[in-house]
Structure 1
Amino acid sequence: MPAQTVSKLKWCTLFIIGLQLAACGDAPAPKQAMLPSVIVNTAKTEEIQSKTEIVGRTHASEDVVIKSQIQGQLLKRTFIEGDDIDKGDLLFEIDPSTFEAELAQHKAVLKQALASRDVAVMNWERGSRLLPDGMISAQDMDELTTRKLTTAAGVVQAEAAVKGSELQLSYTKIYAPISGRISNSKVSTGDIISSNSEMANLVQLQPMWVNFQVAERALINARESFAKAAKKEIEISDIIIGLRLPNGSMFSETGYVDFVSNRVDAATGTLPIRATFKNENKLMLPGMFVTLIIESPVKENALLIPQASVQEDQQGRFVMVLNDKDEVEKRIVELGERFGIDWRVLSGLKDGERIVVDGLQKIRPGIQVKAVEQEVIPFKESQTAPK
């Protein structure tokens, strides 16, 4: 290669290196890393009225099994299956001929007993007049007295037999003992009905009972909480109960607690309780699973935080809290019931502390963040608190 060409290449190389060194010397300093941006919410104490949801099951306030008390052939059924029946309505009629014959026989026996008693009384009265004059002996008078007493007992026995026959005859007609809705018939016309045969079922739909159970721990906590908030003993009548039907709609009527068991079920650790609803439109039927919404009779103050801020690990539930320097701290919290989109804080957090509700995936304890305050939607008392 000619010397002149080599010299030009050297000068070019030196020129390029010089430009690179100059560029390096003029490079700006690296920018400081941007802080992760998170949305925070301030924990605040608000006035709430607790509502608890408990699943219960409806039960008829009266549930009667219609049974036969005698044996005989079923002559007719007088009701339409599934209809509403009034108390005293005729439901079934069993062939009465056998019982009518027995009644006639017992009435005849009663007439004979009455005649015998009347004769015995007349003889005893006659003997009473003759005894003072010595016309009859004392032994004869004793026999007259015995005859009078025996025939009187015979009358009582015959009268009892007549009443028994009348009672048996009355059992041939079966009437509704309560007002309610009748089931399908368990027997058909012409069947030979035996004593104690189940013939139908009658349930009373007004009022309707709802049976449910409350855990003993929850019951004690609720009583203590209510008493503390109200500063007095809470009566059962103070508790208002709403009801949600199986299709999710709210029942138009409110109910009340009318029975609390006198002991806790040892097997389940729960206390059986019963609520009563008027059920005037007869919408509720026995055996339905419904949701009871039990509202606290008192209002109380509670610290609420959004559910979105709560995380959980092996240590339990926790939230990320920002200190005065916007540094992240992990805080273990104890939570109570839920109120709409909020969660009640029992311990681990104070009023006014800032918690992270969005951007949790970008942070860890100890780092500094850029905090943006969240717009808070006020809690509505109409929101329920599922248990």
Structure 2
Amino acid sequence: MVAQTVSKLKWCVFLVLGLQLTACGEASAPQQAMLPSVIVNTAKTEEIQSKTEIVGRTHASEDVMIKSQIQGQLLNRAFVEGDDINKGDLLFEIDPATYAAELAQHKAVLKQAFASRDVAVMNWERGRRLLPDGMISAQDMDELTTRKLTTAAGVVQAEAAVQGAELQLSYTKIYAPISGRISNAKVSTGDIISSNSEMASLVQLQPMWVNFQVAEKALINARQNFAKAAKKEIDISDIVISLRLPNGSLFSETGYVDFVSNRVDAATGTLPIRATFKNEDKFMLPGMFVTLIIESPVKENALLIPQSAVQEDQQGRFVMVLNDKDEVEKRIVELGERFGIDWRVLSGLKDGERLVVDGLQKIRPGIQVKAVEQEIIPFKESVSAPQ
């Protein structure tokens, strides 16, 4: 009986040990690790047209400060402040009474000069006839000649004085020298205006100039790149310029470069350039800060990658590239200008290579990943649900 009990206990122990060993064997069986999933995009060569954005400032093509040239009391302001003025329109009128009186006085002096000259000429003619007969001496004839010349000069002097008085009188009425938009008046009716007083400013809004500056290095690179892409020298008139207004909207017109300075500013290392816009609606005003979008006149092929794929460390900018085995490789790249959400690749990548754009925090060089191609979903306007 005891022997049977011992035998049963041994059987139970072996059974328990067997179950434990089986359980341990199942727990230690190796399992295949899951590969990290990443989203990839393919580097593609596309046709591009380079654009550069530069901040500029608008300037009126003509900016005139209206000043008085004489002194007097202001009788009239003949314009509405802020209005568009045509060339030749009357702007101000200064009291002409003093200058009209001076003109009348000079005209009277001119008449006296004419009379004196006429008498001198008649005496000279009479003396010229009497001189051969010895009726007058040569000295008397010289005096008659001198008188004739002096009175003739007096006429010229009096005529000049009349012209000067007429000019002074004309300054009592101030006319617009150009067409443009007038500012507020800096003087009021009844003021005593002194010579050279500022009275108003007049700016020409059509066309409108935009002044900007380009770094000398960027200018040389742009000309070389344009010439290389077009395989010919690019004329400055071929460059099309768009403009972004201060509120971010695009101006409806395109402009062109009409002036390039003949020297680089030694202090800033930049070249002053000017663009012209017709400004037909007179929307742009002087003094506005705007953004010029300068578009290359030629198209070229370039390798583009999404900006989301680009990282940067002490070695520079780099991307994570997948090889044929879906293994991660770190690739240093040289990048150029941006085109929307893409970046131009100058070196370091080839067309058709795959690079990681999402899931970068889960990977490192050398590991294998599960690649999922990025799906580009076109933008669609959202439709609000019915209320």
Superposition TM-score tier, normalisation by shorter sequence:
over 0.9
Letter in 1 for 2:211: N
CA positional deviation for 1:16: 3.6
- Which one-letter code corresponds to 1:189 in the other structure? T
State the Cα deviation string for residues 71-92 of structure 1 (Å, max 9, x = none). Answer: 1111110100000111101100
**SS of aligned partner of 1:350:** coil
Residues 186-197 of structure 1 mapped to structure 2, 5 A cutoff: 186-197=186-197
- 1:1-387 pair list within 5 angstroms: 15-27=15-27, 29-375=29-375
Deviation at 1:282, TM superposition (A): 0.8
Shift of 1:26: 4.5
Unaligned 5+ segments in structure 1 are 379-387
Q: 1:139 to 1:42 in 2, by over 3 A?
A: same
SS at 1:160's partner residue? helix
The verdict on how the C-alpha distance between 1:364 and 1:25 changes in structure 2, with shifts beyond 3 A counting, is: closer
Percent identity, please: 90
Which stretches of structure 1, 4 residues or longer, exceed 3 Å deviation after superposition? Answer: 5-18, 25-28, 375-378
Partner letter of residue 246 of structure 1? P
CA RMSD of aligned residues (A): 2.1
Q: Give the letter aligned to residue 120 of structure 1.
A: A
Q: 2 CA distance for matches of 1:350 and 1:128?
A: 107
CA deviation vs aligned residue, 1:61-104 (integer Å, no higher than 9, x gap): 11000000011111110100000111101100111111111111
TM score, norm. by length of structure 2: 0.92
CA contact (8 A) 1:36 1:363 kept: yes
| Greater displacement, 265-274 / 174-183 | 265-274
> What's the offset of the Cα at 1:248?
2.0
Q: Which runs of 5+ in 2 are unaligned?
A: 379-387
**In structure 2, C-alpha distance between the alignment counterparts of 1:310 and 1:132, rounded to whole Å:** 112
- Cα deviation, 1:109-149, whole Å, max 9, x if unaligned, reads 11111111111111111111111111111111111111101
Q: Secondary structure at the match of 1:345?
A: strand
Shift of residue 268 of structure 1?
1.5
- For residues 9 and 66 of structure 2, what CA distance do their matches in structure 1 show? 119
TM-score, scaled relative to structure 1: 0.92
Structure 1, 87-96 or 283-292: larger mean CA deviation: 283-292
The size of the alignment, in residue pairs, is 375
- Sort the Cα spacing of 1:207 and 1:271 in 2 relative to 1 into closer, same or farther, 3 A: same
Q: Deviations over 1:244-283 (max 9, x none)?
A: 2222222221111111111111122111111111111111
Larger deviation: 195-204 or 359-368? 359-368
Q: 8 Å contact 1:320–1:328 — kept in the other structure?
A: yes
Q: Distance in 1 between matches of 2:269 and 2:26?
A: 78
Range with greater deviation from structure 2 (21-30 or 6-15)? 6-15
Q: 1-side partners of 2:280 and 2:25: how far apart?
A: 91
Opposite residue 290 of structure 1, the aligned amino acid is: V
**Aligned partner of 2:212: which letter?**
F
SS at match of 1:268: coil
After TM superposition, give the deviation of residue 22 of structure 1 in Å.
2.9
Range with greater deviation from structure 2 (234-243 or 75-84) = 234-243
